[in-house]
């Protein structure tokens, strides 16, 4: 039976990661996968997390099951970080998931359960995993234009037009901050307009926030989502701690949602738990427990905030350096988070890999913080040469 399975295309990004690992050229620059790196190319465990893990190891007396919601304190401690002054909204509920991917899966399955014919409006481009996760939940996708790669800007008017044509009950997938793959986030005015259309059209916002703190700061990066909280009765939020706590492989995330009332949210939670049971039953504990310990201890929380601030400073310093290389790269300074997208064709991206051992996604997306301090000038020179070629 299994032998009859057809061949499938593997994830292009995961293929790129494997190719970069095999390349032994010493000058290799890997700006493919989205993980934070120091100038030495390391992705270290945060010191606050390491200390929390030690405390966990010392104090944990049982690994008995925790239940379908996982660590119950974990989402409560995250709420003020993600939702600011909306954290105490009695209709806002959340539960631990295996990473942001688990939250996205669960959130879309919740939509499918509530409204099987809902359509999901998805910007182009978006993170490559969004589409399979949405289709996996059995939902229809309708794309909206998000970014003009050649003009290095958000195609805001076209996006607004697409939202104007949406049906009530459609779901709009939005990136909370640090847009993957473009780095292009809404400004305050654009968020205000998005809020107004969503409320006016009866669209359900689904906000994916996986990089909070790595753009301008936790408050700034949460502001768009928090503004939406005040404007709508219902919202779904997939959150990931994998980047801002550096716990990627531990798979730490949260699904939050708010229905029209605390009672309606509680009913949605019953459905969510049923759906989680059909997939993983209970999320893995270790990473979320470490994050919970960081958040509940003032000393560790401050250490973590300082560590994220230094990651953010490195990202933004690299952005400034790249932008200073040439006016054609100046836009990169205004973008947020780990990624930006270069106006390159797939053939130009291939050439960068072949001629310069520079690895980036076919779309021209590159991980800014994959560059070491010494790589910046060579990287910019090669990219500009490719743009001219
Ligand atoms: N959403 C976006 C936009 C991402 O870039 C990622 C990246 O990994 C995720 C969600 C999922 O994160 P996780 O690794 O926690 O599943
Ligand atoms: O976009 C990235 O590079 C990260 C890592 O299936 C990633 O989000 C890539 C592919 C994937 C899961 C995570």
Which pTM does this prediction carry?
Answer: 0.97
What is the bridge-based pairing of β-strands 171-175 and 365-367?
Answer: unpaired
Which helix (H) or strand (E) segment holds residue 365: the answer is strand 365-367
Please list the residues that pair with 173 across neighbouring strands: 206
Atom of ligand 2 at shortest range from CA of 11: 6
Q: Which of 127, 290, 304, 336 is catalytic?
A: 127
pLDDT at 6: 95
208 as an active site residue: the answer is: yes
CA of 76 from ligand 2 middle (Å) equals 26
To test ligand 1's pocket by mutation, which of 102, 131, 178, 180 has the most ligand atoms within 8 angstroms of CB?
A: 180
Report residues whose beta carbon is within 6 angstroms of any ligand 1 atom. Answer: 34, 99-101, 127, 175, 180, 208, 210, 240, 242, 248, 253
Report residues whose beta carbon is within 6 angstroms of any ligand 2 atom. Answer: 11, 13-14, 33-34, 127, 129, 180
Burial label, 189 (beta-carbon count in 10 A; 0-12, 13-18, 19+): exposed
> What would the mean pLDDT of 54-82 be, rounded to a whole number?
96
351 as an active site residue: the answer is: no
210 as an active site residue: the answer is: yes
For residue 313 the two structure tokens come to: 């400073």
User: pLDDT digits over 117-148, tens only?
Assistant: 999 999 999 999 999 999 999 999 999 999 99
Class of domain 2-45+301-388: alpha beta
Atom of ligand 1 at shortest range from CA of 127: 3
pLDDT band at 15 (very low <50, low <70, confident <90, very high): confident
> What would the mean pLDDT of 210-219 be, rounded to a whole number?
98
Nearest in space to 95 (alpha carbons), one of 295, 297, 221, 265: 265
Look up residue 363 and give its DSSP letter: T
243 as an active site residue: the answer is: yes
Same fold, 2-45+301-388 and 50-298: no
User: pLDDT digits over 262-303, tens only?
Assistant: 999 999 999 999 999 999 999 999 999 999 999 999 999 999
CA of 33 from ligand 2 middle (Å) equals 6
Q: Is the ipTM of this complex over 0.90?
A: yes
Rounded to 5 degrees, φ, ψ at 226 are: -65, -35
> What would the mean pLDDT of 309-316 be, rounded to a whole number?
98
pLDDT at 291: 98
> What would the mean pLDDT of 150-167 be, rounded to a whole number?
96
Q: Which of 155, 170, 185, 208 is catalytic?
A: 208
pLDDT at 9: 81
11 pLDDT above the threshold of 90? no
User: pLDDT digits over 190-208, tens only?
Assistant: 999 999 999 999 999 999 9
3-class state of residue 72 by DSSP: coil
What is the CATH number that goes with domain 50-298?
Answer: 3.40.640.10
Q: Domain ranges for the chain, please list them.
A: 2-45+301-388, 50-298
User: pLDDT digits over 292-306, tens only?
Assistant: 999 999 999 999 999
Atom of ligand 2 at shortest range from CA of 361: 3
Q: Which of 79, 109, 243, 258 is catalytic?
A: 243
């Amino acid at each position: 039976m299994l032998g009859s399975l057809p061949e499938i295309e593997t994830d292009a990004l995961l293929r790129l990661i494997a190719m970069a690992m095999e390349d032994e050229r010493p000058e290799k620059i890997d700006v493919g996968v989205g993980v934070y790196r120091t100038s030495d190319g390391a992705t270290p465990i945060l010191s606050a997390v390491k200390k929390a893990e030690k405390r966990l190891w010392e104090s944990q007396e049982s690994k008995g099951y925790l239940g379908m919601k996982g660590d119950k304190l974990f989402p409560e401690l995250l709420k003020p970080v993600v939702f600011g002054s909306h954290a105490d909204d009695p209709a806002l509920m959340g539960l631990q998931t295996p990473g942001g991917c688990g939250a996205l899966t669960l959130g879309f399955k919740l939509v499918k359960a509530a409204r099987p014919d809902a359509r999901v409006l998805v910007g182009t481009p978006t993170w490559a995993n969004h589409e399979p996760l949405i289709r996996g939940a059995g939902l229809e996708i309708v794309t909206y234009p998000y970014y003009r790669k050649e003009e290095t800007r958000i195609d805001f008017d076209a996006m607004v037009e697409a939202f104007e044509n949406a049906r009530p009950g459609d779901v709009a997938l939005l990136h909370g901050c640090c847009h993957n793959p473009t780095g292009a986030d809404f400004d305050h005015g654009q968020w205000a307009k998005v809020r107004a259309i969503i409320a006016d059209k009866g669209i359900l916002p689904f906000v994916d926030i996986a990089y909070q703190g790595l753009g301008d700061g936790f408050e700034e990066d949460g502001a768009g989502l928090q503004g939406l909280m005040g404007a709508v009765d219902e919202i779904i939020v997939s959150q990931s701690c994998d980047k801002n706590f550096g716990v990627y492989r531990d798979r730490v995330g949260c699904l939050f949602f708010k229905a029209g009332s605390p009672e309606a949210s509680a009913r949605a939670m019953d459905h969510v738990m049923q759906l989680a049971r059909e997939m993983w039953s209970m999320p893995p504990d270790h990473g979320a427990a470490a994050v919970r310990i960081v958040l509940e201890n003032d000393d560790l929380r401050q250490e973590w905030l300082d560590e994220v601030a230094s990651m953010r400073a490195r990202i933004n310093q690299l952005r400034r350096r790249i932008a200073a290389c040439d006016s054609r790269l100046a836009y990169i300074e205004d973008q947020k988070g780990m990624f930006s997208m270069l106006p390159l064709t797939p053939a130009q991206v291939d050439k960068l890999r072949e001629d310069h051992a520079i690895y980036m996604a076919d779309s021209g997306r590159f991980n800014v913080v994959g560059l070491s301090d010494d790589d910046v000038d060579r990287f910019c020179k090669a990219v500009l040469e490719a743009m001219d070629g």
